[in-house]
Structure formats: structure tokens, C-alpha cells
Amino acid sequence: MGSRYDLAIITGGSSGIGYSIIEGYLKLEPDASIFNLSRRKPASFSNVPERQHLECDLSDKNQRKKVLDELERRIRSAKGQGRILLVNNAGFGLYGETGDTPPEEHLELLEVNVCALVEITTRLLPLIKERGGSIMNIASTSAFQPTPHLSTYGASKAFVLNWTLALNDELKGSGVNAIAVCPGPTKTEFFKRAGFKDRVVPAGYSHDPEQVANMALRALNAGKPFTVTGLLNKLASLFSTMLPLALRTRVAGRVIRRFRPNPENQ
Ligand SMILES: NC(=O)c1ccc[n+]([C@@H]2O[C@H](COP(=O)([O-])OP(=O)(O)OC[C@H]3O[C@@H](n4cnc5c(N)ncnc54)[C@H](OP(=O)(O)O)[C@@H]3O)[C@@H](O)[C@H]2O)c1
């Protein structure tokens, strides 16, 4: 990425893929200013004035509004006036029968995975257009087909993919581009938070978050509108999109059903 950005803003940089994106970015830009929005503070943010944590529960509209006011104020008073990188990474999944999960949990997921991403991006877009820059949105390979037992999650990621591609097209010629990153299974806190039993995907089929972050940053640098991380994930996504929609849904349901939580572990 070289010195392409003066400033980065990330959501969900406290763990997993987001944490690794911050680390990957700081390797290229050790002195860069970076703002993180999440509930927990990233471990590497202590006592470094250029790394600022803004605590926020992104599922809460009032907290989002307050933190975005504060973020804009801090960005406008920061010294650099160069390009901005916005990474919308915060997100989580919910595994189970759709009707067995309380409605508030589905809505919380949509607030974080969809509403926060749209609000943060549209709110910061005028500033990013003024200064130039990029928007990276973390979708998922779940975006390529309906995902029974992860219904709200998969649909939220289909939204992220399609919305980002549409936005990138609209932004042509503006000095700003957008990229949707579609990781496959990655070794993070995601599975536990979603309610899966411990290891749902064999280690050989999942990436480390550092690998995903590096692939995402490379794709951003190459100016791609979207990327699926890793060859197996690329092939699986391509195969899935070649199937008729109803069949694609059935195949996904069969695969995901195999990951049912183990009642003995509950
Ligand atoms: N792991 C995978 O297999 C996989 C595959 C495809 C896509 N993804 C996507 O990758 C992104 C990162 O997930 P991950 O795998 O790195 O999982 P993770 O380790 O659980 O990280 C999730 C991040 O999102 C933040 N977050 C969640 N709810 C939040 C809330 N209410 N308010 C603020 N921040 C919130 C968390 O921060 P706090 O807890 O500090 O608030 C955390 O930093 C997500 O969008 C996920 O859907 C993951």
C-alpha cells in the first residue's frame, strides 16, 4: 500500500481480521494515524498517540451518532490532509434455526453488519471524496448464496457485497474506490461468537487472519472491486454461483447443517 493513505479508520480492530488489517497497515505505515471503532481497545493501541480508540457499540444508533461526531471532529483537527482509508470490518454471525433466535439478536446483527457500515460510509463519504481514498468492506463467501442456519448473517453479507460493488461503480472518476473482501473460514473469535461448536472447519481449510488481511490489502492495492481470499474459496464461490439459486441454497444448507452445535458442549 506504500504511502497511499495519511489516515485509516477501521471498525472492529480489537480482534481477528480487523486486528490483522491494522497490523498489516502499520507494517507499511508505522507512523500512520489510525482510528479504531469497537467495544474493546486493540492491544497495540496503548500509549501511541497516532492510534486512537473510540469505544462504541456499533449496534447502538445513539452511540454511533456520538462516535461519528467525535471521529469527524478529530479527523478535521488532525495534521495530515491526505488520502483516507475506511475499513468496515466489524461484524458477527448467528448460527441456528432462524425462528429459534430472538428477533433482537437478528436486529443487532443487522445493525452491526449492515446499518453501521452504511451509516459510517455515507457519513464519511463527503470527507473521503474531498481528500481522496478508499473504502474496504469485509463481506464473506457467505454472500454468494443463501445460507440456511446462518440466514440473517449470509443475507447481511450479500448486502455488503452488492452495496459495495454498486458504490464502487458510482464512484468511478471521483478519486475514491471501494472494495468488498470475501473471506472464507478464518481462525478468529467469529465461530465461537456465532454459536458454533469449537472447530467447525478443518484447520487445512481455514486461513489465519494475517493471511486474510494481507490478501485484502494486496487486492486493495491492485484496485480490485472485490476479492475472494484464497484459491479454494474462489473456486467454491465460483462453483456456487454457477448453480441455480434453489440448488445453491440446498447445497449450502447441507454443508452448514453439518456444523450443528454439539448438544453435549452446550
Ligand atoms: N472468521 C471468519 O471465518 C470470517 C469469514 C468471512 C467473513 N468474516 C467477517 O470478518 C469480519 C471480522 O470478523 P472476525 O472473523 O475477525 O471475528 P472477530 O474476531 O469476532 O472480530 C469481530 C470484530 O467485530 C467487532 N464487533 C462485533 N460486534 C460489535 C459491536 N456491537 N460494536 C462494535 N464492534 C463490534 C468486535 O469488536 P468488539 O468485540 O471489541 O466490539 C471485533 O473486533 C466480520 O465482518 C465477519 O463477518 C469472518
Give the pLDDT confidence of 173-227 residue by residue, as tens digits: 999 999 999 999 999 999 889 988 765 676 778 999 999 999 999 999 999 999 9
For the chain, the domains span 7-265
Distance CA 23, CA 239 (A): 33
CATH topology of domain 7-265: Rossmann fold (3.40.50)
Distances (CA, A) of 101 to 22, 36, 60, 231, 264: 33, 30, 19, 34, 20
If you search the block for the grid coordinates 448467528, which residue do you land on?
A: 94
Q: How far is the CA of 108 from the centre of ligand 1 (A)?
A: 13
| Closest residue CA from atom 1 of ligand 1 | 186
Instruction: Provide the pLDDT for residue 265.
Output: 44
- Quick count: other Cβ atoms within 10 Å of Cβ 228? 25
Is there a contact between 137 and 181 (Cβ–Cβ < 8 Å)? yes
Four-residue CA torsion sign, 196, 198, 204, 210: positive
Sheet holding 84-88, edge to edge: 51-55, 33-38, 7-11, 84-88, 133-138, 176-182, 226-228
Does residue 205 have an active-site annotation?
A: no
Measured distance between the N- and C-terminal CA atoms of the chain, rounded to whole angstroms: 44
Q: How far is the CA of 71 from the centre of ligand 1 (A)?
A: 20
Does ligand 1 come within 6 angstroms of the Cβ of 42? no
What mean pLDDT, rounded, does the chain reach? 93
Does 170 have pLDDT greater than 80? Answer: yes
Does 158 have pLDDT greater than 90? Answer: yes
Q: What percent of the chain has pLDDT over 90?
A: 82
Element (H, E) at 107: helix 103-110
Considering the candidates 19, 95, 153, 205, report the single residue annotated as catalytic: 153
DSSP state of 204: G
Does ligand 1 come within 6 angstroms of the Cβ of 17? yes
Instruction: Summarize the confidence of residues 60-67 as an average pLDDT.
Output: 98
Does ligand 1 come within 6 angstroms of the Cβ of 92? yes
Which residues partner with 129 through β-bridges? none
Instruction: Provide the pLDDT for residue 258.
Output: 82
Residue 32 makes CB contacts below 8 A (sequence gap 6+) with: 5, 6, 7, 8, 25, 26, 50
Does ligand 1 come within 6 angstroms of the Cβ of 39? yes
Give the pLDDT confidence of 11-56 residue by residue, as tens digits: 999 999 999 999 999 998 888 899 999 999 999 898 888 999 999 9
Instruction: Summarize the confidence of residues 66-78 as an average pLDDT.
Output: 94
Distances (CA, A) of 128 to 58, 134, 208, 222, 260: 21, 8, 30, 19, 43
